[in-house]
Amino acid sequence: MAATAITLAAPLTLGAAADAGAAGGHLIAFARYTEAAPTEDLYAISPGGGTPVDVTHTLTISDVMPSWSPDGKRVAFVRHGSGGAVDGIWTMKSTGGDLKAVPGTKGASDPAWSPDGKRIAYAKPVGTQHEIYVAGLDGTPATRLTHAAADDLHPTWSPDGGYLAFSRADAGGHSRVMRIRLSTLAETPVTGSGSHDWTPDWSSGGRIAFSRVDASGFAHLYLVRPDGTGLHRITAARAHDKNPSWSPDGSRLVFTRGGSDDADPEHLYLVRADGTALTQLTKADSHDLEADWRR
């Protein structure tokens, strides 16, 4: 399917979001939907606050799971529509246009742009489960990295590009954070079995943030070192905290809080890595999801 077959209903205007809160630093991209408008669009907001800008505005096509390129010039995302006519991972200029489909990504999710800007990791269905793949943006064939009898999702790159962390869900309904070395495909558990650990994100400083449903029944944010040491919780509200994404300097996180059902709004929050300075970033009656902080 040619990229030119899909056009935006409005131009991508990440620059407008930057102008709305330039003092806040690198932009945060995220997906939003409402009960009245259930088709997701990509939005952008400054971490300093302000009004989010609708940057894709596709009326019948859902755009979700944004991932910034390291230089901030492009955004990868998942695009899908009714009947499967549009399905897969795409990239586009952050200034608008130049849509390009990533070949072989039908049904794929969770794109993550590599630190060198040359590859995208993602999860893709294989039979009844998902596996982790890496595709080069130069047109080279994708490489399948995992072969487990489990769902492997949410890849995130180490700062040096030598490893990926991801979440692995087993048939018993548990999930844990795993680490894989790209040069050998050797896998190492980062968190223990029997837990419910999701959506890891690897910081520039070498820590991994993730969301864990713990004994409270709520999802909270945790941090851990890549070798599995130093595990500790940084949020503890009676709410669901998920999809953490690190700031460029590794000092703060943006994440989604809320969403017990479709009637319960989900907002973006900021928090320091030590769990202090919690700040609500978005406040609309909407579901704000899958934020990615431009590094």
Task: Quote the CA–CA distance of 29 and 67 in Å, as a whole number.
Answer: 8
Task: Assign 168 to helix, strand or coil.
Answer: strand
Rg (CA), the chain: 18
DSSP one-letter code for 33: E
CA 263 to chain centre: 23
**Helix, strand, coil in percent for the chain, rounding step 5:** 5, 45, 50
CB burial string 2-40: b at 16+ within 10 A, e below = eeeebebeeebbbeebbebbeebbebbbbbbbeeeeeeb
Residues 6+ apart with CB under 8 A from 73: 93, 94, 95
Give 175-224 pLDDT, tens digit per residue.
999 999 999 999 999 999 889 999 999 999 999 999 999 888 999 999 99
Q: How many helices (H) and strands (E) does the chain have?
A: 1, 24
CA 144 to chain centre: 20
Dihedral angle computed from the Cα positions of residues 266, 269, 271 and 275, in that order, rounded to the nearest 10 degrees: -30
Residue 269: predicted pLDDT: 98
Query: What number of CA atoms fall less than 13 Å from residue 53's CA on the CB side?
Result: 21
Task: Quote the CA–CA distance of 52 and 173 in Å, as a whole number.
Answer: 35
pTM: 0.91
Residue 172: predicted pLDDT: 86
Which residue's entry shows tokens 């959506």? 199
Q: Which two tokens stand for residue 169?
A: 């869900």
Full pLDDT tens readout for the chain, 295 residues: 333 333 333 444 555 554 444 434 699 999 999 888 888 999 999 999 999 998 888 888 999 999 999 999 999 999 998 776 678 999 999 877 889 999 999 999 999 999 999 999 999 999 999 999 999 988 888 999 999 999 999 999 999 999 999 999 998 889 999 999 999 999 999 999 889 999 999 999 999 999 999 888 999 999 999 999 999 999 999 999 999 999 999 999 999 999 666 568 999 999 999 999 999 999 999 999 999 999 8
Looking at residue 272, its amino acid is R
Residue 85: predicted pLDDT: 67
Beta bridge partners of 253: 246, 271
